[in-house]
Structure 1
Amino acid sequence: MSPNSIKFELIVTIVNKGYAEDVVSVAKQAGAEGGTIIHGRGTGIHENAKLFGISIEPEKEIVLILIDKTKCDSVLLAISEEVGLNKPSRGVAFVLDVEKTVGICHLGNGYCSDKK
């Protein structure tokens, strides 16, 4: 699949427990329709984990935001700035290309998988 045919991207944001709702709220204000929150934990759960001398909170929340490629940069920037991902121990976000989707019919813009 060529890069030009990719219509969606997935913004994955991993933050400390309690910040996922902030990520979703900021993303919605920037043009996203919502997101999915998954609870997780870091690998240092039974000890005080440190990275470069900074304590790492083991309880995490992962926010998955499937978004139209044209909106991705502005939503990612809003998340980074408003949640403070550029500060130590606040979290990380990255983007993955999504080559195929099914079931996205509510947008009414040709992305529904059952349209031919």
Structure 2
Amino acid sequence: MQGYKLVVSIVPKGSANTVMDAAREAGAEGGTILLARGTGIHEARKFFGISISAEREVLLTLVEPEKVRSVLDAVVESGKLNEPARGIAFVLPVDEVTGIVHRENR
């Protein structure tokens, strides 16, 4: 099956559900949430002289090309990604997809 883009969103731990809800309202059918650890300039914090990294959540959302802009805009707004240290979102091309059985039977 072809015709998808992957919206990758990296947000602070605890905000993935809010961002995923907004992506769904904008046309995404769902996604996968992974726990991650940030290593960017804003993530490194010191606690008693020991560097610790902020935990992040990564959302992987397959989206039909015509819905990408609305989903990406919803992710940016709901995740406040225009504010410093809030995260990042980007879109990757997807060459092939399999396993989306509910879509293949339409």
The normalised TM-score by structure 1 is 0.75
Structure 1 residue 57: Cα displacement: 5.9
Identical-pair percentage: 47
Alignment map for 1:1-116 (pairs within 5 Å): 7-43=3-39, 48=45, 58-108=54-104
CA contact (8 A) 2:38 2:56 kept: yes
Moved over 3 A (4+): none
Name the aligned partner's letter for residue 34 of structure 1: G
CA distance in 2, matches of 1:76, 1:42: 21
Alignment gaps of 5+ in structure 2: 47-51
Go from structure 1 to structure 2 and tell me whether the alpha carbon gap of 1:71 and 1:79 turns closer, same or farther (over 3 Å shift): same
Kindly provide the amino acid, as one letter, of the partner of residue 85 in structure 2: S
The question of whether the paired residues in 2 share the 8 Å contact of 1:13 and 1:94 is answered with yes
Q: Give the aligned length.
A: 97
**Which protein shows a greater Rg?**
1
Larger relative strand fraction: 2
RMSD: 2.1
Deviation per CA, 1:31-80, whole angstroms, max 9, x where unpaired?
11111000011237xx517xxxxxx9610100000111111111001111
Unaligned runs of 5+ in 1: 1-5, 50-55, 111-116
TM-score between the two structures when normalised by the length of structure 2: 0.81
Distance change >3 Å, CA 84–CA 48, structure 1 → 2:
same
